[in-house]
A and B are shown apart, each in its own frame.
Chain A
Amino acid sequence: MKNNIIILGGGQAGIYAAREIRQNDSKSSIKILGKENLLPYERPPLSKDFLLDKKNEEDLYFHSSDVLKDENIEFENVSISKVDFENKKLFAKNDHVYSYDSLLISTGSENKKLSLDNNLKNDIYYLRNLEEAKKIKEIVSNKNKITIIGGGFIGLEIASSLSQLQKKVIVIEIGNQLMGRIIPKQIADLVQNTHIEHGNEIILNKQIEKITKKNGDYEILLNDNSLIETDFIIAGIGSTPTVKLFENTNLKLDNGIVTNQFCETSIKDVYAAGDVSNFYHPFYKRNMRLESYQHAQNHGICAGKNIAGVKTEYTSIPWMWSDQFNLNLQLTGICDEYDEIIERGNDINNGVIYFFLKNNKIRGACGVGIIGKVGRDIRITSKLSEKNTIVDKQTLSDQNLKLNKLMQK
């Protein structure tokens, strides 16, 4: 049967879903509607190699327009401003109307904005898309003292890149450690030390009271009355799923669009995937929302299969990374359900990993090390956790013992 399939949001989950639908369904029409006038591209380099000029725009695209043409996938640059799920229609700002038989929502997430009482909205920069990355890159080229509000992954990656561009960088974080509570404090501290060694200043436990503009520069007043002078401000204070469009509809929302293990939403023929979806994970028997490259890809693929009629559960073990200076940090599984923590290694040069165990099985792990040093062990960890293997704790904690010995053939 020939269906009319629309993918709302032309990011990573959207493009992977589109190609997967085509693999399983040669007849249906597939159209991606994207607000950015760009083919789907990778966001991770925006805070890293793109700022550092090691990658340029052409390097970021997932696929060329030829691939989409060959697979008969249409991409249209349009911003959707209204949905009518009952009549299966989407309305664009330019009055264009799109009808669908099946809809995938992959609108991603958007940056939280600082609530400032004065007219500084256009003075604070945020990083989510290529346009913003280009603007930041251009402006920082003639700035020296840069303040980053928020010590999460994206803020710290920007701090690392700007430091490598010889800028003086200050990071202000409201919490008592970097990267939030999900990261073990010991790992957050190792990352913090690396920033400090490279000359970045890290301020923890401080809140912004007020920002004032002075002769083109800024003065930031903190809640301990200290003042920071800076000539450019970037904020990375977290993100929220892009769901405004659906707020007055029947679509079930709760920290994103609620979906089951088949990427199905509360409305028939409407699916959601990627950052925007709060999905049920059958392995962990709970809902979760993830913002990660691997998840956007695999969840998009899973949604694509289900839309094409190949009923498929989403069972991917979560995994994400962050690169800062010469460090690579990785997280796998879930790190908030455990009855025991085991540490492997204590030297960043060889990698340090914290395993989170429940009933002698690994639920999750977080590791950091000089580039290349934790990836293999984290990958093996994902496999051990996926297979519910009862693990030998001595092997986990002793870096001289190889983890692959724990894998059952």
Chain B
Amino acid sequence: MSEENWIEVGSTDSIEEEDLIRFDHQDKTFCVYKLTDGFYATDGICTHEAVHLEDGLVMDDEIECPMHQGIFNIKSGEALSPPACEDLKTYPVKVDNDKIFIKID
């Protein structure tokens, strides 16, 4: 694992618990979540149609798309409820000195 791929997202207190923030890097958009047991990251755009999941609702381990209520598991990316059927890509997250980093491919 090379260090270069870890990108700093922000400080750990920039996200409320059971919430998310959007993070844009180069031409990609990600969502970074704070769940009860830690931080997680997924692609920021729904796999159904091109809508930003930053406006979605986080419930337990799930993110629900604001457009058609497609639901994804935040930890695995699995599409749990139609019309979403394609899984959401997830990314490793680490916290270092109160800063959140995500590893992009």
Contact = CB atoms under 8 A, between A and B. Distances in A.
Contacts of A374: 66
Contact of A376 (B49, B57, B68, B83): B57
Contacts of A49: 49
A165 to B, nearest CB: 18
Contact of B51 (A42, A62, A371): A371
Contacts of B69: 294, 319, 375, 379
Nearest to A374: B66
B82 A375 contact: no
B56 interface: yes
Taking chain B's interface residues, is the majority helix, strand, or loop, or is none over half, making it mixed? loop
Interface residues of A, number: 20
Interface string B47-73: 001011011110000001111110000
Contacts of B68: 293, 321
A328 B69 CA distance: 12
Contact of A380 (B52, B57, B67): B57
A297 interface: yes
Given A49-B49, A379-B57, A380-B57, A372 B83 contact: no
A372 B57 contact: no
A351 to B, nearest CB: 9
Contacts of B55: 372-373, 375-376
A153 to B, nearest CB: 14
B64 A379 contact: yes
A316 to B, nearest CB: 12
Nearest to A409: B18
Interface of A: 42, 44, 49, 62, 293-294, 297, 319, 321, 323, 328, 371-376, 379-380, 404
Given A294-B69, A375-B66, 6 more contacts: A293-B68, A321-B68, A371-B51, A372-B55, A373-B55, A379-B69
18 contacts: A42-B83, A293-B68, A293-B83, A294-B69, A297-B82, A321-B68, A323-B67, A371-B67, A372-B52, A372-B55, A372-B67, A373-B55, A373-B66, A374-B66, A375-B56, A376-B56, A379-B66, A380-B57
